[in-house]
Chains A and B, each alone.
Chain A
């Protein structure tokens, strides 16, 4: 196991404070989670930001950004039904948007997310927060806030299991593990 429940919680607490620090407060913040597991992480981060800054309404700063239709590997991946995109009521124009995903790997998901954002509005700043950075980037993309840098081999698979998305009886959740692939 790479991260257990307490590790994930501590990493998210630190990232929440880093986001507030680099933004010099909570003004104009919007957290956009990338489905599936980025969204529950965004919800958790918003709750932590609200805990640090009581003026923040956590529900009002979280959104979900689906990038399926913007991917460059659709023709290789088989059919992926799109997830809903939900923006906070305030929109994203002139906001500080923090993209949130579970694992940063090739960078292609984030490339797609940047395209998706541009079609929805014009944020003032776009930042990136991820729980795991496992390296092997294929594009010039870097995360601003990282829960854990995890050196991996590309033959390995990093699995993030969250209570919100992966609750199956008998399988532990809220942990990160590395699995070898065949």
Chain B
């Protein structure tokens, strides 16, 4: 850090202001304060002429376009402050930056200061367009930092030498014509050896020009980035500035969760950009997706704060309404699945911690609700008798819909492993479960819960009826039990759905809590479980129900 030391004769206040200027762009200045904001923003040229008695600072398109103000006596400091501010706050490329010494009289301090300001500007600004005309003797060592600083080769340097004060230099000896010499300088400009060889030159002009074709875009980006990260000036800032400031918004967002973040994101583009860059944790605790049928899906999102939203994705309608605490979102038919998965991805994108539960249900509430209970039970009993547990799904085209959904979900889970402590799946097929379970983070997953979709959360009151209907349904879990997720989990609950796989072929020893439903259980099975589970050091409770 550049450390300034004050002595008693030093202008403490000025140093104070300059410190603030450097830290905060506190735009005090001298000539600078006479400029209108428009002039500051559209500065095209800075022309400096100096000798030992005065410094002329001319601003505008051309030196003739003068702002005539005079600062008497101690003019060097104010000049440097002004030049610093002008270059630092330059919004557009300069057509010309010309620095000329009127006489051969050296004011080395001023010259060094100018170079220091330019160097600082070049380092802090990623793109700049400068033409520096100098008709002064200049030691290369002074300007070397400027020339060496050329990130990404963005600048092209042309140094024009008309004469050399180095008597040892013999251009002819180097077999170089002046034009070729210039080219050579251009091509070798990044090699500092050139300076060691040629020593001190009379430098007549330096042209730094941006060779980046996307110059304007990159400058816009830089400006926009700066405005978001910079410390705001209390005098001129608005709430709008506050809502797009990364530091302040970062602190605000630490106290907000998904729904408030989403609402804040919709207020204005500044807040939106800021939130997207900060990527705040949405604090989702539970994400539940229920496929009711092929034209209606529910998503329920619960947050750590206890807030929740129930969102209905419905085909063939574009109405969005909010009623009784439920958000109904509707989307066009052909994009129903991509839309719900896109929301799922976006909502969880910045989740920094694992969610507590991910629930997926293939339930048929809608059908249940559209029939009387008796009609519904009768229909289901008939379907089950016909040994067609999927009849209802097939008749609704739900099978293909569910397949499409699972395929898309599998793709998503393959690309981004979901971290959830509990998985709760309501379906009747091992193959469907295997499209989800293996892609969950096995280190985080501690509880596995399978249930029949008819016994989903929204059908609880009728579980006993539904269970009777579905007693012929069963679930194979042989492949599931081989997954890493199964092996690392501590809790397994399979409800409303008898296990079809032979118990003795399954390894339950990793579980602390077990609650399963089986078709039949033999004395051999019980003996096997007793033997196996007694070997486990963390086994706590095992409940087997059978039909």
Q: Answer yes or no: do A and B interact.
A: no
B-side residues, CB < 8 A to A, are none
